[in-house]
């Protein structure tokens, strides 16, 4: 008689259940992750090598933070933690890029309750579209609140920061969406001998800013541009499909260089509309200026 060898086969049902469980776990993690990423603040450090940099400006350390958006999704405790982080970065200059809350009333309150920021050469700030909601009179109230908090507002204004025998010139304009920016007037207050940092909340101004001219008639009148507003897209793959912020894709995120000008578009710190991010971690930037030798 022939012999038959019996082989035990594990039931397939158990394997199928495990696969479904792992799939469900992966989907749950994917759904949850965008709500976790906003808390994953990163410190982005960048060394900027500058041709013909005056020796007095060597190793100047700039900390830039934008789009905090205090409100339902970003508490006072989180603001305190962000400011504590900034104070721990040993900045020579601290620059804030606008959108401090969800509206102009919130922006005023933001500076009334925020901790002090410390930097050897001062703290400076521009305003964003959320800071420029009505009433228009809130702009004066906001600037006064900034000054009381030790922050110098740069709204269509130029500030010279003396370092030895050289200057860093900070040139900031009003928000381009809800404010009244005077790009031409600001540009004409600087000259070819200045190292100029241009500040505007939205990078959408960049093409016009590059074409503007300084007091000598020179275009490309600034050396470094710092911008926020886009949140890096906030949900990166959606922003590549649907333009939600009106900014050309070239100016959506990160470092770029045009006409000898270095420009940075930050992901920002907070979120807008929904407390989610995907592949756009929040950022604070530390920029160290060095001579290009």
Domain residue ranges in the chain: 10-39, 41-291
Q: Return the SS3 of 56.
A: helix
- Mind listing the pLDDT tens digit for each residue in 31-44? 899 999 999 999 99
Query: Whose structure tokens read 């830039």?
Result: 64
The pairs formed by 254-258 with CB atoms below 8 angstroms and a separation of 24 or more are 255/46, 258/206, 258/210
What stretches of 51-177 adopt beta strand conformation (E)?
A: 60-65, 93-96, 123-125, 151-153, 157-163, 166-172
Mean pLDDT score, 108-119? 98
Query: What pTM was computed for the model?
Result: 0.92
Q: How confident is the model at residue 11 (pLDDT cuts 50, 70, 90)?
A: low
Q: Mean per-residue pLDDT for 243-264?
A: 90
Closest by Cα among 212, 225, 221 to 184? 212
The predicted model gives 217-241 an average pLDDT of 89
pLDDT, tens digit (0-9, with 9 covering 90-100), for 116-148: 999 999 999 999 999 999 999 999 999 999 999
Strands 224-227 and 166-172: unpaired
Concatenated DSSP letters of 240-285? HHS-SS---GGGSSEEEEETTEEEEE---SS-SSSS--BS---EEE
Flag whether pLDDT at 239 surpasses 70. no
Q: Predicted confidence band at 245 (pLDDT cuts at 50, 70, 90)?
A: confident
Q: What is the pLDDT of residue 240?
A: 66
What share of the chain has pLDDT > 90, as a percent? 81
pLDDT of residue 25 exceeding 90, the answer is: no
Name the more confident of 6 and 37.
37
Superfamily for the 41-291 domain: Metallo-dependent phosphatases (3.60.21.10)
Q: Where would I find the beta strands (DSSP E) of the chain?
A: 42-50, 60-65, 93-96, 123-125, 151-153, 157-163, 166-172, 195-199, 224-227, 254-258, 261-265, 283-291
């Amino acid at each position: 008689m022939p012999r038959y060898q019996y082989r035990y086969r594990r039931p397939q049902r158990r394997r199928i259940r495990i696969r479904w469980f792992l799939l469900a776990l992966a989907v749950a993690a994917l759904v949850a992750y965008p709500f976790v990423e906003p808390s994953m603040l990163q410190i982005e450090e960048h060394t900027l090598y500058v041709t013909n940099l005056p020796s007095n400006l060597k190793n100047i350390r700039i900390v830039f933070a934008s789009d905090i958006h205090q409100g339902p999704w970003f508490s006072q405790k989180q603001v305190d933690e962000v400011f504590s982080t900034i104070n721990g970065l040993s900045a020579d200059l601290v620059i804030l890029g606008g959108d401090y809350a969800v509206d102009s009333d919130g922006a005023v309150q933001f500076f009334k309750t925020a901790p002090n920021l410390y930097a050897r050469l001062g703290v400076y700030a521009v305003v964003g579209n959320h800071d420029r909601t009505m009433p228009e009179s809130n702009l004066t109230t906001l600037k006064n609140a900034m000054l009381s908090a030790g922050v110098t507002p740069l709204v269509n204004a130029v500030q010279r920061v003396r370092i030895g025998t050289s200057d860093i010139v900070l040139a900031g304009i009003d928000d381009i969406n809800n404010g009244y920016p005077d790009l031409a007037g600001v540009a004409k207050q600087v000259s070819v001998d200045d190292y100029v940092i241009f500040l505007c909340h939205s990078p959408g101004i960049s093409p016009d800013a590059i074409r503007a001219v300084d007091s000598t008639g020179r275009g490309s009148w600034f050396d470094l541009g710092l911008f926020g507003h886009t949140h890096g897209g906030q949900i990166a793959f959606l922003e590549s499909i649907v333009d939600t912020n009106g900014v050309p894709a070239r100016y959506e995120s990160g470092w770029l260089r045009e006409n000898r000008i270095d420009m940075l578009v930050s992901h920002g710190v907070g979120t807008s509309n929904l407390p989610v991010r995907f592949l756009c971690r929040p950022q604070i930037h530390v920029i160290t200026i060095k001579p290009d030798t």
